[in-house]
Amino acid sequence: MYFNSIKIPGFTAPASEALIMTLGLLVFFTILFWGWGFFRAQDNIVNLKSRTKSWWVIIIIYATMMGIKKEISFIGLGFMSFIALRELLSKLQINKNLRRVLFWAYLAVPIQFYLAYIGNFQAFLLFIPVGMFFILPFRAIIEGVAEDSIKTFSQLHWALMLTVFSLSHIAYFISLPEIPGFEAGYQGIVYFLIFLTQINDIFQFISGKLFGKHKITPQISPNKTWEGFFGGLILTTLMGYHLSYLVPLNAMQTTIAAALIAIAGFFGDLNISAVKRDLNIKDMSNFIPGHGGILDRLDSLTFSSLFFFYLIYFWIYL
Partner 1 sequence: MKHMIRKIWLHICYKMIMKPFLKIFVGVEFYSQDSFKDVDQFIFVANHNSHMDTMMLLCSVPFRLLGKTHPLAAQDYFGKTPITTWLSKIFVNAALIKRIKGDGENPIQMMVEWLDLGHSLIIFPEGSRGTPDIMQSFKKGISLVLKERPNIPYIPAYLENTSGPLPKGDGLLIPGYSSIRVGRPHYIDNDSSDEENLNQIKKTILSLQQNPES
Q: Kindly indicate which of the ranges 55-63, 86-94, 150-158, 222-230 contains the residues binding partner 1, using the contact rule CB under 8 A.
A: 86-94
DSSP 116-165: HHHT-HHHHHHIIIIIIHHHHHHHHHHHT--TTHHHHHHHHHHHIIIIII
CB of 243 to partner 1, least distance (A): 33
Site for partner 1 in 95-124 (CB under 8 A): 96, 99-100, 102-103, 106
| Binding of partner 1 by 64 (CB under 8 A) | no
- Contact (CB, 8 A) for 220 and 270: yes
At closest approach, how far in Å is the CB of 107 from partner 1? 11
Residues 180-219 as x/- pattern, contact with partner 1 by CB under 8 A? ----------------------------------------
Residue from 2, 36, 79, 211 binding partner 1 (CB under 8 A): 79
- Kindly state the smallest distance separating residue 140's Cβ from partner 1, in Å: 15
**Alpha carbon distance 278, 200 (integer Å):** 25
Shortest distance, position 120 Cβ to partner 1, whole Å: 26
Where on the phi/psi map is residue 293: left (φ > 0), alpha (ψ -120 to 50), or beta? beta
User: Per CB under 8 A, does 86 bind partner 1?
Assistant: yes
First to last CA, the chain: 29
Instruction: Tell me the per-residue interface mask from 268 to 297 with partner 1, x by CB under 8 A, - otherwise.
Output: -----------------xxx----------
Residues 10-47 as b/e (b if ≥16 CB within 10 A, e otherwise) read: ebbbbbbbbbbbbeeebeebeeebeeeeeeeeeeebee
- By CB under 8 A, is residue 133 in contact with partner 1? no
For 95-109, the DSSP string reads -GGGHHHHHHHHHHH
Q: Which is nearer to partner 1, 95 or 120 (CB)?
A: 95
CA–CA separation, 301 vs 199, rounded Å?
12
CA–CA separation, 106 vs 61, rounded Å? 23
If binding is defined by CB under 8 A, does position 89 make contact with partner 1? yes
Binding site for partner 1 (CB under 8 A): 79, 82-83, 86-87, 89-91, 96, 99-100, 102-103, 106, 285-287
